[in-house]
Amino acid sequence: TIKNDYHSSLAYYDDELLKRSIEERRIIGEFERALEQNEFVMFLQPQVDEAGKAYGAEALVRWEHPERGLLSPAVFIDILEKAGLIYKLDRYIWEKAAEKLAEWKKNNAGAYHISVNISTKDFYLVDVYETFTGLVQKYEIDPEMLKLEITETALMSDFKKNMEILKRLQDFGFKIEIDDFGSGYSSLNMLKDISADVLKIDMGFLRASENEVKGKDILESIIVLADKLGMEVITEGVETEKQLSMLTRMGCKMFQGYYFSRPVPVDEFEEKYGIN
């Protein structure tokens, strides 16, 4: 009957909530120890130019959990953000990236950069400016080797203040990338107030370009727009040759996606691209 359905769906809802809160507690409870034990690892995914050459990489964190295996950020990032802990993980990954860049620089590996992700919550608990300028000094790397990825949604949470911090970092020499561009609500409006160096087009646009009538036109327009505004543009989520050639025709010159490589452990990245 209707009544029974109603109750069983409520029970299901309860179960889901309970499961989620158990999972949250587990992640939060295990976090500090895991960080100390170096269970969080930086993976790298190449960012590739027109010629198919990797010119840099994005740092993407993975949790090598002793019981659960390799955990993707989807499992823990939101939880750590909500718990006010993400800054600890981010600082750790940023430092790993700086350390690696210093090593590459010392070995004359070439002009590689590493893009790191910044969470909106980082701005509350970390002096982002101090942290990045401090890392550059500590590891004697050039600021443009470390690119800073921030989503438009993250910027919007406190636009004026966050923008001011990013502007100072840019003046220092860091490159700013807008991540997941187009997935938020404010995309076009924010572009007039922002001075980013790189626009990363959310992979949703690439998917839409294949399934929706207007998708192609929208994607191409974003590429043209970024160029007009003096920003480099990189498309995320490139999985096929066909997508690559379409994007190239549209004027996109930089790509990231499984077609080239999934995110891989650092030594695998170095081996594949002949670094070190």
Residues that bind ligand C2E (CB under 6 A): 45, 60-61, 72-74, 77, 86, 90, 93, 117, 119, 149, 179-180, 236-239, 256-258, 263
Q: Is 179 in the site for Mg ion (CB under 5 A)?
A: yes
Torsion of CA 196, 198, 199, 202, to 10 degrees: -130
Shorter beta-carbon distance to ligand C2E: residue 7 or 53: 53
Classify residue 191 as left (phi > 0), alpha (psi -120 to 50) or beta: alpha
Bridge partner list, 46: 57
Q: CB-wise, 89 or 231, nearer to ligand C2E?
A: 89
Residue 106 CB, nearest approach to ligand C2E (Å): 24
DSSP state of 215: H
Nearer to ligand C2E, 4 or 35 (CB): 35
- Residues 193 to 212: which contact Mg ion by CB under 5 A? none
Q: 200 with 232: CB under 8 angstroms?
A: no
Q: Minimal distance in Å, beta carbon 207 to ligand C2E?
A: 9
Stretch that binds Mg ion, among 70-78, 104-112, 133-141, 179-187 (CB under 5 A): 179-187
Smallest gap, in angstroms, from Cβ of residue 258 to ligand C2E?
4
DSSP string of 75-91, one letter each residue = HHHHHHHHTT-HHHHHH
Shortest distance in whole angstroms from residue 140 CB to ligand C2E: 23
Q: Where are the beta strands (DSSP E) in 154-229?
A: 175-181, 198-201
Nearer to ligand C2E, 56 or 257 (CB): 257
Residue in the block written with tokens 């980082």: 122
Which tokens is 78 given?
């939101």
**How far apart are the C-alpha atoms of 182 and 201, rounded to whole Å?**
7
Quote the CA–CA distance of 138 and 76 in Å, as a whole number: 29
CB-wise, 38 or 107, nearer to ligand C2E? 38
- Residue 117 or 131: the one with the smaller Cβ distance to ligand C2E is 117
Using CB under 5 A as the binding rule, the residues of this chain from 133 to 152 that contact Mg ion are 149
81 binds Mg ion (CB under 5 A): no
State the DSSP H helix or E strand holding residue 1, giving kind and residue range, or none if neither: none
- Interface contacts to Mg ion, rule CB under 5 A: 117, 149, 179-180
